[in-house]
Amino acid sequence: MLPNARMQSKTLFFSLVRRMIATLINRVAEKASAHSGSVLSVAFSPDGTKIVSGSEDGTFKVWDSDALGLLSEKPNAHSFNIPSVAFSPDGTKIVSGSGDQTIKVWDSDKLELLSEKTNAHSGTVYSVAFSPDGTKIVSGSWDKTIKVWDMVKWSRKDHLMFNATTQRFVVQLLWLNKYSMKFPDDVLDLLIEACLQSRWLRAMVTNAGGGSTSAEAANTPEVWRDMERRLERAGQLHVGLPKLLATSLENAQTVADKQVEPFKAERLADLPEAEAVALRERGLSMIARSEVAALLLAGGQGTRLGIKIPKGCYDIGLPSGKSLFQYHAERIRKVKQLAAAHAGKREADVRLPFLIMTSDATDSDTRAFFRQHAFFGLPEDQVHFFAQGALPCLTPEGKLILDAPGLLAMAPNGNGGCYVSLRDSGLLEQQLDASGVTSIFQFGVDNVLCHVADPTFVGFCSARHADCASKTVPKRDAHEPVGVVALAGGRPAVVEYSEISREMAEAKDAHGRLLFGDAHICVNFFSVPFLKSFCARLGPFGIQLPLHVAHKKIPYTDASGTRRTPTSNNGIKLELFIFDTFPFAKQMAALQVARDEEFAPVKNEPGAKSDSPDTARALVSALSKRRILAAGGAIRGDAIVELSPMASYQGEGLADRVAGRTFSTPVHLE
């Protein structure tokens, strides 16, 4: 057969095949505009009567499979897209995997959340499926991992709507698991199940909502003895909340009793120029080798600023309208560019993981804000969110406080909660240590002048072989209410202003500088090997971070069910502090830098005399002016001047753009 004839025959054959397939696959139903975004995943129920669909819009919907009529939907099921959904073998549950790195299990009828696994992967969860017996879930992710999960009977986020005593026990158990004991999941489930199967607790659950019977049962010592016996058999009950409070108060007294001495911080201004240059180049080389990560503490809301959004979303009023988050992200982008140029590499070959610690109050809004702004130009796979934990609020006697019927009053566990959260999220080992990161630059969200991943500071810490290090600024005056880096009992620490005497606060050295003048601004360095070793010992049989006591006004629900807002301090919040690792460091260093170049906190409402958007904006403008003038430019007018981090990280590279030019304010150089 001639070649042309063979080609015609082949074409005819495939045409016939396509027609045959078309007759076999007939479209029986269609649903236009099923979601407001692209439909990324669909699955049939086991009996074929329902279809579940997951969408780019973060919702999933359940449809009748015959006519594609909408049966139910779950808006905002995830804070990001849903590339994977599946029914359980019995059709009673739906599992969803999302770009927010979580896996969630839902009741397929009511679409109520049954359980979830946050930070299940370090990237988008692209596929999920139930095992044939429905007891396990398998997931696959952008992070190149496959994971198998056990289905648990109790979600740790369930609101256990029993009476206060039952909930007190269960929440104490969950709290011990998350912040101290770290029970294995199977042990945790068995303990809670044992608790709830107790005959006294069954009676209390039956009578939930009040009544003398449940109240009397709750107060019988036999109830608590039974709980304790069950836990003691698991060998885990060592801590009670009253004991925890007593230990925390004792710790505060111990710190106050320790001898406090000055810590010898080095001053950047005193270093020889050649050494400062060498330290900067050392830091740039480390960043170019992808050995550095940035850790942002962003759990705070803007309550004091009068806003109801995460503080990092706040625009302080600069001409660009940029948020605090954008400023920090752009500094990371710029320092990566500088490091790449220093090493002769492509910027894309420089990895600088950006770890963002949120809280329950800020997590979803923060993730959404970054997605909305395309991660401010940072690679999505290098931005990792994880949430800090919470601790129960206590009365001065160590009892739990009821926030609402069936719910305990809880508060974020402080910035020191990042250690446990880093460890338990897997970020410390899976994203940092495993990828060759050796150093973490940590900073707070409200400092708009923070030089994120500062190569000079990173190089300084490396050269000093520091386990921990702190960047400090000079105190504004002897009695500024701020913690200072010092020695307490011979070990490095941050000592609160209330813990040093007036004479100590005013004491000066031979150069006329305050002996206790190194203000801690929550900009720190940690070596990854040190943090790995430290976090491995966090637990009942090793080092415990001290819990700090803060007396606060805590709203509560009284015995009659009435919501009360106290006018004076009525309770205690327990917090962990980021700097409580310092005493455990074998080598600690501190570098004092210029305050007006690196510290512009945004804490107080507009119009406040200090630490407000107004004062921060003025500091940014003043620094921008100085850098333009130093590069040979001129400024006309007194309005705001803004120099974008993308234009210059620390004043470098400006001469070509500004030398010989005069700028009329307001000025915004991007």
Same domain as 417, residue 321 = yes
d(CA 151, CA 105): 9
**Is residue 27 situated within a structural domain?**
no
Nearest to 554 by CA among 541, 542, 540, 570: 570
Same domain as 653, residue 529 = no
- Per-residue pLDDT of 455-508, as tens digits, reads 999 999 999 999 999 999 999 999 999 999 999 989 999 998 878 889 999 999
Same domain as 617, residue 591 = no
Same domain as 270, residue 160 = no
**Token digits for 330?**
């752009």
DSSP 8-state code for residue 431: I
Which pLDDT score is estimated for 229? 45
Radius of gyration of the chain (CA): 29
Residue written as tokens 């190149």? 144
**Is residue 603 situated within a structural domain?**
no
For the chain, which residues score pLDDT lower than 70? 1-28, 151-257, 398, 405-408, 539-544
Which pLDDT score is estimated for 114? 82
- Per-residue pLDDT of 102-160, as tens digits, reads 899 998 988 988 888 877 887 889 999 999 888 889 999 888 889 888 765 433 333 33
Same domain as 446, residue 406 = yes
DSSP H helices in 567-612:
595-598
Peptide bond before residue 666 is cis, with ω within 30 degrees of 0: yes
Same domain as 357, residue 478 = yes
Q: Which residues contact 643 (CB under 8 A, 6 or more apart)?
A: 623, 624, 627, 628, 654, 669
Contact 389, 415 (CB under 8 A): no
Residue 108's domain spans which residues?
39-179
Same domain as 268, residue 119 = no
Same domain as 565, residue 505 = yes
**Is residue 446 situated within a structural domain?**
yes
CB atoms within 10 A of CB 97: 30
Half-sphere CA count of 146, side-chain side, radius 13 A: 2
φ/ψ (deg, to 5) at 290:
60, 40
Q: What is the tally of structural domains in the chain? A: 3
Same domain as 396, residue 252 = yes
Which pLDDT score is estimated for 440? 98
CATH code: domain of residue 126: 2.130.10.10
Which pLDDT score is estimated for 405? 61
Q: Which residues contact 61 (CB under 8 A, 6 or more apart)?
A: 34, 35, 52, 53, 55, 70, 72, 73, 74
Same domain as 621, residue 572 = no
d(CA 195, CA 63): 39
**Is residue 12 situated within a structural domain?**
no
CATH code: domain of residue 525: 3.90.550.10
Half-sphere CA count of 469, side-chain side, radius 13 A: 26
Which of 179, 200, 228 is at the close of a domain?
A: 179
d(CA 395, CA 393): 7
**Is residue 20 situated within a structural domain?**
no
DSSP lists the bridge partners of residue 355 as: 295, 384
What is the reported pTM? 0.68
**Is residue 496 situated within a structural domain?**
yes
DSSP lists the bridge partners of residue 89 as: none
Which pLDDT score is estimated for 28? 62
**Is residue 380 situated within a structural domain?**
yes
